[in-house]
């Protein structure tokens, strides 16, 4: 080889390597999560931890929920709805493959929906499929879903993690080795430690920037903070920061983003248990509580106060925090009206989450001022779910209801609030069959007002989302309209 050729070759090689070095931004990321998912099948479990790993990354539904909480097309590229709102015809994307190489088509949609509503289904959100009457695979790219009655939230519900499309070939193994159609495929799960996803070849949709995502389980605030500071973890979408928020904010390599969730945090009341069956008692409790003090203690002062069961980021939200302002004298007057001017004793059961345990202390001391003595009983989640939620064996409890669009829980028969209001139930009935947006909003505003005045629970605050990530990471969700870590738009800035 002549000298000049070597020179040119060397120059070309040098340029090539230099340019790749300059262009190649990082394509891997370690994301911290607090809870390890019990398994990885979002259609067979309620744990938010499952969706936080696989939603939009591994699994996709007919529709999807965007970072603004809106419905967008996903595996269905478009759809039409019949005039009576009962028949949805979905046109599916073609050329889509599952990660195991099998083709995606109308049969998979039919399989998924029929499986979720079957008698032996263990779908945690089975209720949303009950409205479905029949599912018909018209041709490989067309699915016709007929509903029993029109359902305003149907398209939204089809975008939830519970409704992602799975294949008959792989559904049984999804708990341990999830097979979906998303841009990332499952690679490895080191139990107790981390779950790794890698870019899937031949993804049908918009290409993703990341090659590798590791979700690392870090359950403890004391461990999460040094993990972020040392750079071991580059993003923590729901960071358990404890008191270290200012320390993280002060680090120039990190970005701290306070966002919203759909978590209405409530002081739930057992509405059938005396004396809480008296409206005046509930009004007294509502008036005795200073939301700001609770927010300061329970959420680093970051939660937004709410006056009814609706997230402030929802278009139908109305500010009703002024219905029962913090007023001790008024609270005492309400108690007198109920014939309980000498106060009474009750229990407050607190699940093992910081907002409940910390907020509970403040609420107990505030209620003591008007003569209500609360005995605080800390309980575990399992205990809470069986005793409080299922058996309704409680007086008061604090919990965050993190589902979106869940105002109808106050009309559910046998729900743990034990609240019954025929007028409210009628509104919810109306809401479920209304799909006109303006009309839905009117109904929702009306419903919020009823709840705010009736105090089936004291509405405390909207749970904040504290996201911390490397300042060079772009595309993380700032808010949590649903509990998911959609990584499809995430990339490293150069």
Partner 1 sequence: MTAYLLKRLAIGLVTLVAASVVVFAVLEIVPGDPARLMLGMNATPDAVAALREQLGLDQPVLWRYLAWAGGLLTLDFGRSYTYSSPVIDLIAERTAVSLPLALIALLLTTAIAIPVGLFAAARRGRATDAVAMGLSQLGVAVPNFWFALLLVYVFAVWLRLVPAGGFPGWSAGAWPALKALVLPAVALALPQAAILARVTRSALLEVLGEDYIRTARAKGLPRSYVLRRHALRNALIPVLTIIGLQFAFLLAGTIIIENVFYLPGLGRLVFQAITQRDLIVVEGVVMLLVAVVVLVNLLVDLSYALVDPRLRART
Given the rule CB under 8 A, which residues bind partner 1?
Answer: 36, 38-39, 45-47, 119-127, 175-176, 190-194, 216-220, 222-223, 226-227, 229-230, 232, 352, 380-383, 385-387, 389-390, 401, 403
Query: Based on CB atoms, which residue is closest to partner 1, 341 or 380?
Result: 380
Least spacing, CB of residue 456 vs partner 1, in Å: 16
Please classify residue 444 by burial: count the beta carbons closer than 10 Å to its beta carbon, then call 0-12 exposed, 13-18 middle and 19+ buried. Answer: buried
Least spacing, CB of residue 87 vs partner 1, in Å: 25
Query: Based on CB atoms, which residue is closest to partner 1, 36 or 454?
Result: 36
Query: Based on CB atoms, which residue is closest to partner 1, 231 or 339?
Result: 231
Query: Based on CB atoms, which residue is closest to partner 1, 268 or 283?
Result: 268
Least spacing, CB of residue 417 vs partner 1, in Å: 12
Query: Based on CB atoms, which residue is closest to partner 1, 91 or 387?
Result: 387
Least spacing, CB of residue 327 vs partner 1, in Å: 32
3-state secondary structure the chain: CCHHHHHHHHHHHHHHHHHHHHHCCCCEEEEEECCCCCCCCHHHCCCHHHHHHHECCCECCCEEECCCCCEEECCEEEEEECCCCCEEEEEECCCCECCCCCECCHHHHHHHHHHHHCCCCCCCCHHHHCCEEEEEEEECCEEEEEECCCCCCHHHHCCCHHHCCCCCCCHHHCCCCCCCCCCEEEEEEECCCEEEEEECCCCCCCCCCCCEEEEEECCCHHHHHHHHHCCCCCEECCCCCCCCHHHHHCCCCEEEEEEEEEEEEEEEECCCCCCCCCHHHHHHHHHHCCHHHHHHHHCCCCCEECCCCCCCCCCCCCCCCCCCCCCHHHHHHHHHHCCCCCCEEEEEEECCCHHHHHHHHHHHHHHHCCCEEEEEEECCHHHHHHHHHHCCCCCEEEEEECCCCCHHHHHCCCCCCCCCCHHHHHHHHHHHCCCCHHHHHHHHHHHHHHHHHHCCEEEEEEEEEEEEEECCEECCCCCECCCCCCCCCCEECC
Query: Based on CB atoms, which residue is closest to partner 1, 11 or 223?
Result: 223
Least spacing, CB of residue 401 vs partner 1, in Å: 8
Query: Based on CB atoms, which residue is closest to partner 1, 253 or 437?
Result: 253
Least spacing, CB of residue 106 vs partner 1, in Å: 26
Query: Based on CB atoms, which residue is closest to partner 1, 156 or 334?
Result: 156
Integer Cα distance of 166 and 456 in angstroms: 39
Q: What pairing do the DSSP bridges indicate for beta strands 396-401 and 254-269? A: antiparallel
Query: Based on CB atoms, which residue is closest to partner 1, 280 or 385?
Result: 385
Integer Cα distance of 248 and 293 in angstroms: 24
Least spacing, CB of residue 176 vs partner 1, in Å: 6
Query: Based on CB atoms, which residue is closest to partner 1, 354 or 385?
Result: 385
Least spacing, CB of residue 124 vs partner 1, in Å: 4
Least spacing, CB of residue 204 vs partner 1, in Å: 30
Least spacing, CB of residue 164 vs partner 1, in Å: 16
């Amino acid at each position: 080889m002549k000298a000049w050729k070597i020179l040119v070759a060397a120059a070309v090689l040098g340029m090539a390597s230099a340019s790749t070095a300059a262009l190649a931004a990082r394509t891997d990321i370690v994301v911290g999560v607090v809870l390890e998912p019990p398994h990885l099948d979002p259609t067979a479990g309620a744990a938010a931890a499952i969706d936080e790993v696989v939603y939009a990354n591994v699994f996709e539904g007919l529709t999807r929920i965007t970072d603004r909480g809106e419905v967008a097309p996903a595996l269905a590229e478009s759809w039409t709805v019949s005039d009576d709102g009962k028949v949805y015809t979905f046109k599916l994307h073609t050329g889509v493959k599952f990660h195991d190489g099998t083709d995606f088509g109308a049969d998979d949609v039919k399989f998924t929906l029929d499986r979720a509503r079957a008698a032996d289904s263990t779908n945690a959100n089975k209720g949303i499929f009950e409205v479905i009457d029949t599912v018909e695979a018209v041709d490989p790219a067309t699915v016709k879903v007929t509903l029993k009655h029109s359902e305003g939230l149907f398209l939204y519900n089809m975008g939830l993690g519970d409704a992602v499309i799975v294949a008959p070939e792989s559904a049984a193994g999804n708990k341990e080795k999830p097979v979906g159609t998303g841009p990332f495929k499952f690679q490895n799960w080191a139990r107790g430690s981390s779950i790794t996803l890698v870019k899937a070849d031949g993804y049908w949709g918009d290409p993703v920037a990341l090659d590798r995502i590791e979700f690392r389980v870090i359950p403890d605030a004391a461990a999460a903070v040094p993990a972020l500071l040392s750079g071991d973890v580059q993003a923590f979408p729901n960071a358990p920061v404890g008191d270290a928020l200012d320390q993280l904010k002060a680090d120039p390599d990190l970005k701290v983003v306070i966002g919203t969730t759909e978590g209405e945090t409530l002081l739930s009341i057992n509405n059938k248990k005396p004396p809480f069956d008296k409206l005046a008692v509930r009004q007294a409790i509502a008036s005795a509580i200073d939301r700001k003090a609770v927010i300061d203690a329970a959420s680093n002062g970051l939660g937004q106060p709410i006056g009814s069961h609706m997230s402030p980021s929802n278009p139908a939200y109305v500010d009703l925090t002024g219905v029962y302002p913090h007023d001790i004298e008024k609270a005492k007057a309400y108690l007198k009206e109920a014939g309980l001017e000498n106060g009474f004793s009750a229990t407050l059961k607190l699940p093992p989450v910081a907002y409940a345990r910390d907020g509970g202390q403040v609420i107990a001391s505030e209620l003591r001022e008007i003569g209500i003595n609360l005995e605080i009983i800390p309980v575990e989640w399992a205990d809470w779910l069986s005793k409080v939620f299922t058996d309704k064996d409680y007086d008061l409890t604090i919990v965050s209801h993190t589902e979106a669009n869940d105002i109808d829980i106050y009309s559910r028969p046998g729900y743990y609030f034990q609240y019954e209001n025929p007028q409210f139930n009628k509104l919810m009935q109306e809401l479920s069959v209304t799909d006109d947006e303006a009309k839905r909003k009117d109904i929702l505003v009306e419903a919020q007002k009823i709840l705010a005045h009736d105090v089936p629970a004291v509405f405390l605050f909207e749970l904040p989302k504290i996201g911390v990530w490397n300042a060079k990471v772009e595309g993380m969700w700032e808010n949590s309209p649903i509990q998911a870590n959609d990584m499809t738009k995430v990339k490293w800035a150069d």
